[in-house]
Amino acid sequence: MKILLVNPPFYRFLGSHYNANSLGIAYIAAYLNDRGHDAWLYNADYIGEKKFRKYDLIHAQENFTNYKEYFKNQNLPIWEEVVETILRFEPEWIGYTSYTANVSSIDIISSKVKERSPKIKQVIGGVHATLDPNLLNKLSAIDYCIQREGEKAMLSLIENEPVETISGVISRSGNKIINIGDANVNKNIDDLPFPERDKFWGIDKDEKSFVDVSYICTIRGCPYRCNYCASPFHWKRDKTQYRSPESVLSEMRHLRKKYWNDKQYDFSASGNIKNKSNLIIEDNSIIYFVDDVFTIKKPRVKKILRGIIDEKLDMPWKCEARTDHFDEEIAELMKQAGCTRVKLGFESGSDRILKNIQKDETTEDMIKGAKLLKDAGVPFTAYFMAGFPGETDEDLKQTIKLAEKIEANYYVLSILSPYYGTKMYFDMIEMGYELDKKPWEYFYHHSGELLVNNTISNDMLTKYLQLNELNNTANNYI
C-alpha cells in the first residue's frame, strides 16, 4: 500500500514555519514500512527556508488578523499547493496528524482531496483526534479517526481488517459513528522501529533541514496532572511508557552514524553548529528529547546521561523538564553529556496559582532547580503564562518577580489558552465561557482569543509582556 502521512500547514499562516516533521507520524511510517508497505511523510508546514523565522507572542499577535481570514478563503494558493502535492504522490491512504489548531486546515485539505480523488481513504489521528470522539461528525471527508497510539491501528486499517474489531478506531456505518473504545497501547515501546527520517515527500532531496534537529521520544505520556495540559488525557496518566536507556542510546548511535558523522557538522568559531549544507542548527542542538518531562525517573535519566558521556556520542541536545526533578548530580551530568538547553515550564510565580492549576510544584522548587542548572552551566528557557482563571495583578506581579530572579537564558511569554479536551477547558465551559463555540484555529498558545480572565489590569499585563526585554540574544530559538 502507498501511504502518505501529512503534517498539515499551520505555522505558515502565522508568518512562521515548522521545519521538524511530526514524530508521531514518523513512527507510524517506520512501523508500516517495516511490514512491507510504502509510507512517506509530507510536512506541509515546511517551506524550504534555511533559517528559522522568529516566532513569539508579539509576532504571533501581529500576524493574527491575517491568520483568521486565511481559513475563510478556500481559494488561497496554499490549499492548491498542498492538495496538488498530496495527489502527485498517488496515495491509496492518507493520514493526517492533528492538534486542535490545525483541524480546520485538515478539514479544507481532506475535502478538496475527496472532491478530486474520492477513492483515497483518509484518516485523522493525533491529540485532537484522541480528545474529540465526535470528530467524524464534523469532518465529512475523513473516513476514520485513530485515538492515541496509531501504529497498530493504522496497520490494521490498511491491511483491511474488519474495522469493528480494531480498537482505537472510530469509523462510519451509514449515518452512524462506531467507536469500540481505546487503542491497545504498545506494551513495550522499545520494540518500535526508530522513526522514519528518510522518506520525505514534497521537498528537494538536498532540502532536509528539518532533520538537522533530530527529535527523540523516550517517554510516551506524563504522570503529572496539570489542568491546562492535554497530555494526561491524550496518553492517560496511568499508561505512561518509558523507553529503556539502552534503546535511547541505540537510537542516538544510529543517528550519529547515519546523519551526524564528524564530516557533517562542526563547531564554528562563533559557537554555532553547522551541518554539511552550512545551516546553523537550532539552539546549537542536534538532538531534541521531546518528552513532556525528560527527567522523570532519575536512575533512568542518569543511565542515559552516563551512556552519552561514556560512549563519547558528542551530540549536543536539548530537552523539556520540571525544576523539581534536578539535583546537583543530574545537572552536572547534563552539562557533561552536552545539554545545550532545558525548556522549563514555570508558568506562574504565584504559589496560589500553581496550586490552582495542579502544577504540583512550588516557587521554591523552581528557584532551586534554576540555580542548580545555572551553577552547572546548563542554559535554560523559562516558559510563563498569564491570564489564569482568578489570577490577579498581585499574582502576576509575583510572576514578574520570579522571572527576574531566576535569570533564564531566554523567556517565552504566553497568554493562557485553555486547550480543547483539558480539565481547564471543561471547567471554563461550566463557568459559562463559550469555548466550545470558538473556531478550532483559535486554540493555540499565542491566540489571545480564548481569554478566561477579567481580573488582571492592562497595565500589569503590559509589564508582564515587557519581560521580553530580558531576551538579549537575538538568535535564541524557543
**Total domains, the chain:** 2
Residue 7: the pLDDT is 96
Residue 476 pLDDT level (bands cut at 50, 70, 90)? very low
299/118 Cα distance (integer angstroms): 52
Looking at residue 263, which CATH number applies to its domain?
Answer: 3.80.30.20
- Percent of the chain past pLDDT 90, that is, above it, reads 70
Q: What are phi and psi of 171, to 5 degrees?
A: -135, 175
Q: Tell whether 226 and 128 lie within a shared domain.
A: no
Residue 38 lies in a domain: yes
**In this predicted structure, which of 29-38, 99-108, 267-276, 348-357 has the lowest mean pLDDT?**
267-276
Render the burial of 397-419: b for 16+ CB within 10 Å, e for the rest: ebbbebbeebebbbbbbbbbbbb
Report the greatest alpha carbon distance in the chain: 64
| Cβ proximity of 120 and 29 under 8 Å | no
Residue 477 lies in a domain: no
Q: Tell whether 156 and 289 lie within a shared domain.
A: no
Asked whether the predicted pLDDT for residue 180 surpasses 90, the reply is: no
Q: Tell whether 318 and 396 lie within a shared domain.
A: yes
**In this predicted structure, which of 126-130, 223-227, 229-233, 342-346 has the lowest mean pLDDT?**
229-233
Q: Return the higher-pLDDT residue of 272 and 393.
A: 393
Task: With CA atoms as reference, report the closest residue to 371 among 405, 410, 321.
Answer: 405
Q: Structural domain of residue 29, as residue ranges? A: 2-179
Residue 477: the pLDDT is 40
Q: Return the higher-pLDDT residue of 52 and 349.
A: 349
Q: Return the higher-pLDDT residue of 148 and 55.
A: 148
Q: Tell whether 114 and 226 lie within a shared domain.
A: no
Mean pLDDT of the chain: 88
Residue 478: the pLDDT is 43
Residue 58 pLDDT level (bands cut at 50, 70, 90)? low
Q: How far is CA 307 from CA 129, 193, 292, in A?
A: 37, 21, 21
- Percent of the chain past pLDDT 70, that is, above it, reads 86
364/440 Cα distance (integer angstroms): 37
Residue 60: the pLDDT is 60
69/66 Cα distance (integer angstroms): 5
Q: Tell whether 149 and 215 lie within a shared domain.
A: no
Task: With CA atoms as reference, report the closest residue to 207 among 33, 43, 12, 23.
Answer: 43
Give the length of the chain.
478
Residue 326 lies in a domain: yes
Looking at residue 107, which CATH number applies to its domain?
Answer: 3.40.50.280
Q: Three-state SS for 6? A: strand
Cβ atoms within 10 Å of 309's Cβ, excluding its own: 14
Residue 478 lies in a domain: no
440/31 Cα distance (integer angstroms): 30
Please, how many CA atoms are within 13 Å of residue 227, restricted to the half-sphere of its CB?
15
Q: How far is CA 241 from the centre of its chain?
A: 17
Q: Tell whether 238 and 175 lie within a shared domain.
A: no
Residue 237: the pLDDT is 80
Residue 34 lies in a domain: yes
373/330 Cα distance (integer angstroms): 9
Residue 132: the pLDDT is 94
Domain boundary among 160, 179, 198: 179
Residue 425 lies in a domain: no
Asked whether the predicted pLDDT for residue 17 surpasses 80, the reply is: no
Residue 261: the pLDDT is 65
152/166 Cα distance (integer angstroms): 9
Q: Three-state SS for 317? A: strand
Q: Tell whether 220 and 320 lie within a shared domain.
A: yes
DSSP state of 120: S
Asked whether the predicted pLDDT for residue 65 surpasses 90, the reply is: no
Q: Tell whether 242 and 169 lie within a shared domain.
A: no
Q: Tell whether 159 and 262 lie within a shared domain.
A: no
Asked whether the predicted pLDDT for residue 346 surpasses 90, the reply is: yes
Arithmetic mean of pLDDT, 48-67: 60
| Cβ proximity of 143 and 122 under 8 Å | yes
Residue 46: the pLDDT is 81
Residue 200 lies in a domain: no
Render pLDDT for 94-143 as a digit per residue (tens, 0 to 9): 999 999 999 999 999 999 999 999 999 999 999 999 999 999 999 999 99
Domain boundary among 132, 164, 179: 179
334/143 Cα distance (integer angstroms): 45
Q: Tell whether 327 and 388 lie within a shared domain.
A: yes
Residue 302 lies in a domain: yes
Residue 56 pLDDT level (bands cut at 50, 70, 90)? low
Q: Tell whether 241 and 378 lie within a shared domain.
A: yes
C-alpha cell of residue 261: 558523522
| Cβ proximity of 397 and 460 under 8 Å | yes
Q: How far is CA 5 from CA 90, 150, 355, in A?
A: 12, 12, 40
Residue 61: the pLDDT is 62
Domain boundary among 179, 201, 223: 179
Let me know the angle formed at the C-alpha of 260 by 259 and 264, rounded to the nearest 5 degrees: 105
Lay out the sheet containing 144-146: strands in order across.
38-43, 2-7, 93-98, 121-126, 144-146, 169-173, 176-179
Which are the contacts of 176, defined by CB distance < 8 A and separation ≥ 6?
none
Q: What are phi and psi of 72, to 5 degrees?
A: -90, -10
Asked whether the predicted pLDDT for residue 23 surpasses 50, the reply is: yes
Helix (H) or strand (E) holding 55: none
Q: Return the higher-pLDDT residue of 66 and 271.
A: 66
Q: Tell whether 127 and 224 lie within a shared domain.
A: no
**In this predicted structure, which of 256-265, 324-333, 377-386 has the lowest mean pLDDT?**
256-265
| Cβ proximity of 403 and 345 under 8 Å | no
